[in-house]
Amino acid sequence: MLKLVISQTSNKPIYEQIKDQIKKQIIEGSLKAGEALPSIRVLAKELNVSVITTKRAYDELEKEGFIVTVPSRGTFVAEIDREKISNIGTKEIEEDLQKVVRKAKLLRIELKKLIDMIEKLYKGDEG
């Protein structure tokens, strides 16, 4: 069952919020391959957003291979292999780490200290 929470105050565009939340639910397995998604119009009405917004989210998800649209039948979660999901996650982590590294360099934080910070966070010791 698709669950979406849209924030009107977020800096992230609404179509991106929709796309990211659907993608997350597919990756986590709460949306299963073959599961039907609401039509673009129904989703737009449920979320009180424009049909153009939901169409853009669905178009991007389809381009990325997360959903498939079957004419006259609807939109469904695509079959995705775990390796592809793992690669997508790794790529996203690398992008996040690039931002962290740029900021650390800007603040002249040494590599060793940065690695120590990451290790603490990874192990759950945030203090």
Distance in angstroms (rounded) separating the CA atoms of residues 35 and 16? 21
SS (H, E, C) 19-53: HHHHHHHHHHCCCCCCCEECCHHHHHHHHCCCHHH
Q: Are 9 and 16 in contact (CB under 8 A)?
A: no
Q: Is 110 helix (H, G, I), strand (E, B) or coil?
A: coil
Query: Residue 74's CB: how many other CB atoms inside 10 A?
Result: 14
In tens digits, what is the pLDDT along the chain, a chain of 127 residues?
A: 899 999 989 999 999 999 999 999 998 889 999 999 999 999 999 999 999 999 999 999 999 999 999 999 999 999 987 787 778 788 889 999 999 999 999 999 999 999 999 999 999 865 4
Q: pTM of the prediction?
A: 0.72
